[in-house]
Chain A
C-alpha cells in the first residue's frame, strides 16, 4: 500500500537535493551511501526541497540534513523524533524526515521511539546503525554486541545489544525495513517506499563505521552477507514472521521490508485535521469570553 505524495510540476533529479556542504564523514563511511540513497528517493518522489523538513539529533550521522537542500534541523542529542513530530503537527503538508545514529535513537532518545510509533505521524525515521559511538571516538553503543571491546569497554561489553527491529515491531510500527548502503538501488527504493507509506516508517540502515567499526562488518562485506527478505519468500504483511526474522538482527543481515501493515491506523496529522475541522464551528470570540461572567470552569471556555 502506498500514497501518492502531491506532485510538483517541476522535475527534480538527485543532485537538486544535494547541498554544497562537504560531509565531515571519514572516507569509506557508510553514511555517504545513505545520503546518496536519500537524494535518489527524494528525486523519485519529486517534492521540491523547500517542502521537506529533515530533522536529526547528534552524532556523525546526524550531520546528514546539512548535506541536503531541504530545510534542515540538526538538533540536540536524542530529540529528533519529538521535534519532527512538532513540525509535522504544525504543518502536516510537509514531507518530514528524521534521522540519527543508533545511540541517538536507541540510547539517549530511546524513550521517544515507542511514542512516535503509537501516534503514527506520517514521517520517516532513518537510523544509521553502526554499533559504535563514532563522533566521540569509539565507545560502546546500545547496539554493540555483548563482549565487544571498545575505548569505553576495554575488557568487553557486559550487556546485550538493543535490537532496533524487534524494538519498533514490538511497539506496533507499521513500516519496518532494513537496508545497506552496499545495495544502493535497494536502499533508495526502500527509503522511497518508507516516505510514501502513510504513517510512521522506520528504516534501519547498517551503515558501518570505517574508523572504529568491526572490520568484519564493513561495506565491502555487506553484499556477500546480505540476504534479501524478498528472496527468502517473506510476506511483509506477516507481523509475527517479521518479528521472528528480526530476532536474527545480530547474526543475519536481512535486507528489505520486514513489515508493512496492510491496514495501518490513521495518521496522527489526519486525526488532528479531523479534530480541528469538527471543532472549528462557530467559536465565541476570545474578546467576548474575556468579558464573560464566571462559569464553573473559569468563564473562558468557548461553546
Chain B
C-alpha cells in the first residue's frame, strides 16, 4: 500500500485523457483524499496532444510531484512530446495502448527500465464494452481503479452524473467500459503492489477547486464590488467566476475593451468608494502599468492579480513561470512602492487575495498578487476553508469633524490620510496623477514633491514587519532555502525529505515579496552559512531582488530555471545535499 500516487496520462486531443483526470480527482475528493491535477496541452485550441498529471494522497499535497508512479500512454508520439513534464523512472508502471504496435521490451524511453510495462488493448475493450472508441478513457479509469484501488466506489457515480444528460444508453455504455477496465485489472495483476491506502477515516468534506475560482471567491469574501478586466490566458477564469457571482452580491463587472480600460474602470470604482479588482497575465500587466502608477499617486486602493505565464511578450501562455517579479516590483516610472504578494498553493490564494484587499484598503495603494498558471489552473482538493479566521479591513474614512475642513492628502505620522468618495458631503477633493499638495491642488514644487513621495513611501514601511506573511523552519540551521509562489510547494517537500534524511535545514517562504522585509531576511540569515533560492525564472529574480535590499550570507546560491521546465522535490533535495556536503 502507498500513501501517495502520481499518475501521468497523455494522448491526442480527442482521447478524453484530461476528462479522465477530472473524473479521477472528483472521485478522489468524494472519498476524502487530497490531490492536485495539472493539465498540459499543445498550443492548439482543439486537437493536438494533451496530458494531465494527477497526484493523489492521503495527506495534503504540496506540489504535482516529480517522476511518475504510473504512466498511461494512449499513444507514444503524444506522450513523448511532454518530455520532462511526464518523467518515467525505474519505479514507474507504464500502461500503454497495445494498438501502437510497440513491444513491451522496446518502449521508446531512453535509458530507463520501468518497474512494469502493461500493454492493454484499451481501444478494443472500449469498442467491445461500449461500442464506441470514445469510451476508451473510462476503460483507463477502470484499469486505474482496479490496479491501484483508486476511488473504485466513487468513479461510477461520477460517470453517471457526467453522462446523465445524454441518456441511459450512454451512461450504461460508459459504465460497461469502466467495468471492462476493472475486470482486465483483476485478471492481469500488476507484478508490483501499488495500491493506494484508503483516505483517513472521517476525513470529512473536501473542496475541489482551482486557483482562479478560489481567487474570485476570495475577492467576494473580501467585499469586492467591482471587477474590470479583459480576457487573457491563464487569468480569464477569475473574470468568468466573478461574472457569474459578483452581481448576486450587489457588485458589477466590466469586460473592458482592453487591459488598460479594465484597470482604469477598477480605479474609477475605487475612487467611487468600493473595493475593486482587476486580473491579468504578463502582457496585460505591462499594459496596466501607467494606470497602476495613477492609483499609487492618487492613493487609491486596488487589487491587481497577475497570473504569471511564460514570457516575455506572448511567451508561453499555457505554461507556468515566475518571471514577472521584476515587472510587478519595478514597472512604474517615478519613485513608488507597490506591495507584491504571492500565494504558494491553490488553498493559499484565498488568504493571500483577502490580505491583498486588506493591504490595499489600509494603505490606500494598488497591490499586486503574483499568482501563476500552475496555481491558477490546476485543480486541487483542499480542506474546507475556515473563513472565521480572516479579518476584513476597510479604508480609513474622514470623520464628520475632518469633513468640516477636509484635507485629502494630509500629512500624518503614518502617511495614511482619510479617504472620502463622491457622495460624501464635505469630502470633495481633486484626485490626480499630477503631483499635488495636501488639499489635492496641482503643484510643481520640488519640496512638496519630496514630502509627498516620503508620505507615499513611508506608509508602506510597517509591511516590512509582517512576519505572518513569511513561513520559516529550524531557527539554528546552517543551510537555508528560500522559495516563493507555486515552487515553494516543491521546496517544502524537499525540506521534509531532507529532514527525514537527517539534514538540519530551514526554509523561508516570503508571501510578501515587496517591499523587501529586510529585517525578516536578516533574522533568517543570522544562523546561515549557505542559502539557496529556488524559483522558476531564468534570471533568478527573487535571488537578485533580495540582494538589492539586504546583505546576504557568503554563499547565496540560486536554483533558477525558465518556466515550463518543472523543478521537482528530488532535484531540490539533490542541491540541498550538495550544499550540506552530504
Tell me the bound Cα distance from A295 to B379 in angstroms.
12
B433 in complex: contacting residue of A53, A75, A276, A290, CB < 8 Å: A75
Residue ID in chain B nearest A92 by CB atoms: B252
B268 in complex: contacting residue of A87, A275, A294, CB < 8 Å: A87
Which chain B residues lie closer than 8 Å to A290 at the CB level?
A: 207, 217, 221, 350, 384-385, 387
Tell me the bound Cα distance from A51 to B272 in angstroms.
11
**Chain A 198-231: CB-based contact to B (< 8 A → 1; otherwise 0):** 0000000000000000000000000000000000
Q: Is A55's CB within 8 Å of the partner chain B? A: yes
B264 in complex: contacting residue of A71, A79, A275, A286, CB < 8 Å: A79
Tell me the bound Cα distance from A52 to B421 in angstroms.
10
Which chain A residues lie closer than 8 Å to B291 at the CB level?
A: 76, 79
Tell me the bound Cα distance from A73 to B429 in angstroms.
8
Q: Is B225's CB within 8 Å of the partner chain A? A: yes
Q: Is B518's CB within 8 Å of the partner chain A? A: no
Tell me the bound Cα distance from A49 to B26 in angstroms.
56
A82 in complex: contacting residue of B221, B265, B274, B428, CB < 8 Å: B265
Which chain B residues lie closer than 8 Å to A85 at the CB level?
A: 254, 265, 268
Inter-chain contact A84/B268, CB cutoff 8 Å: yes
Q: Is B209's CB within 8 Å of the partner chain A? A: yes
B213 in complex: contacting residue of A279, A287, A300, A302, CB < 8 Å: A300
Q: Is A283's CB within 8 Å of the partner chain B? A: yes
**Chain B 410-440: CB-based contact to A (< 8 A → 1; otherwise 0):** 0000000000111111111111111000001
Which chain A residues lie closer than 8 Å to B209 at the CB level?
A: 294, 298-300
Inter-chain contact A89/B226, CB cutoff 8 Å: yes
Which segment, of B182-190, B255-263, B476-484, faces chain A?
A: B255-263
Residues of A59-86 at the interface with B, using a CB-CB cut-off of 8 Å, are: 63, 65-66, 69-76, 79, 81-86
A50 in complex: contacting residue of B206, B220, B427, CB < 8 Å: B427
Which segment, of B70-78, B82-90, B239-247, B504-512, faces chain A?
A: B239-247
Inter-chain contact B250/A90, CB cutoff 8 Å: no
Inter-chain contact B271/A82, CB cutoff 8 Å: no
Q: A138 to chain B: closest CB distance in Å?
A: 21
Residue ID in chain A nearest B250 by CB atoms: A276
Known: A90-B269, A292-B205. A276 touches B247 (CB 8 A): yes
Residue ID in chain B nearest A20 by CB atoms: B441
Which chain B residues lie closer than 8 Å to A90 at the CB level?
A: 225-226, 252, 268-269, 272-274, 276
Q: B36 to chain A: closest CB distance in Å?
A: 13
Inter-chain contact A86/B422, CB cutoff 8 Å: no
Q: A173 to chain B: closest CB distance in Å?
A: 16
Inter-chain contact A91/B431, CB cutoff 8 Å: no
Inter-chain contact B433/A74, CB cutoff 8 Å: yes
What does DSSP make chain A's interface, helix, strand, loop or mixed? mixed
Tell me the bound Cα distance from A50 to B427 in angstroms.
7
Residues of A245-266 at the interface with B, using a CB-CB cut-off of 8 Å, are: none
Q: Is A2's CB within 8 Å of the partner chain B? A: no
Which chain B residues lie closer than 8 Å to A63 at the CB level?
A: 442
Q: Is B214's CB within 8 Å of the partner chain A? A: yes
Q: B415 to chain A: closest CB distance in Å?
A: 21
Q: B465 to chain A: closest CB distance in Å?
A: 30
Inter-chain contact B422/A94, CB cutoff 8 Å: yes
A69 in complex: contacting residue of B274, B290, B428, CB < 8 Å: B428
A115 in complex: contacting residue of B228, B261, B266, CB < 8 Å: B261
Q: Is A48's CB within 8 Å of the partner chain B? A: yes
Q: A22 to chain B: closest CB distance in Å?
A: 10
Interface size class, chain A: 35 or more
Which chain A residues lie closer than 8 Å to B425 at the CB level?
A: 48, 50
B431 in complex: contacting residue of A58, A73, A275, A276, CB < 8 Å: A73
Inter-chain contact A302/B422, CB cutoff 8 Å: no
What does DSSP make chain B's interface, helix, strand, loop or mixed? mixed
Which chain A residues lie closer than 8 Å to B430 at the CB level?
A: 21, 65-66, 72-74
Q: Is B487's CB within 8 Å of the partner chain A? A: no
Tell me the bound Cα distance from A33 to B251 in angstroms.
39
Inter-chain contact A50/B432, CB cutoff 8 Å: no
Inter-chain contact A73/B258, CB cutoff 8 Å: no
Inter-chain contact B217/A289, CB cutoff 8 Å: yes
Known: A71-B422, A86-B265, A280-B250. A293 touches B208 (CB 8 A): yes
Which chain A residues lie closer than 8 Å to B69 at the CB level?
A: none
Which chain B residues lie closer than 8 Å to A280 at the CB level?
A: 248, 250
Inter-chain contact A297/B261, CB cutoff 8 Å: no
Which chain B residues lie closer than 8 Å to A156 at the CB level?
A: none
Inter-chain contact A86/B228, CB cutoff 8 Å: yes
Known: A83-B271, A286-B387. A66 touches B441 (CB 8 A): yes
Q: Is A112's CB within 8 Å of the partner chain B? A: yes
Inter-chain contact B257/A115, CB cutoff 8 Å: yes
Tell me the bound Cα distance from A86 to B216 in angstroms.
19
Q: Is A158's CB within 8 Å of the partner chain B? A: no
Inter-chain contact B268/A283, CB cutoff 8 Å: no
Q: Is B337's CB within 8 Å of the partner chain A? A: no
Q: Is A136's CB within 8 Å of the partner chain B? A: no
In order of increasing CB-CB distance, the 6 nearest A-B pairs are: A294-B208, A86-B268, A86-B265, A82-B261, A90-B269, A82-B264
Q: Which residues of A contact B (CB under 8 A)?
A: 21, 48-53, 55, 58, 63, 65-66, 69-76, 79, 81-87, 89-91, 93-94, 111-112, 114-115, 272, 275-276, 279-281, 283, 286-287, 289-295, 297-302
Q: Which residues of B contact A (CB under 8 A)?
A: 25-26, 29-30, 205-210, 213-214, 216-217, 220-221, 225-226, 228, 241, 244-245, 247-252, 254, 256-258, 260-262, 264-274, 276, 290-291, 293-294, 298, 350, 379, 381, 384-385, 387, 420-434, 440-442
Given A76-B290, A81-B261, A300-B216, output 16 extra A-B contacts at Cβ < 8 Å: A50-B425, A55-B268, A66-B440, A74-B442, A76-B264, A79-B260, A79-B291, A90-B226, A272-B247, A280-B248, A293-B205, A294-B30, A294-B207, A294-B209, A298-B209, A298-B213
- A/B interface sample: 8 pairs, CB < 8 A: A21-B441, A72-B431, A83-B265, A89-B265, A111-B257, A115-B257, A292-B205, A294-B209
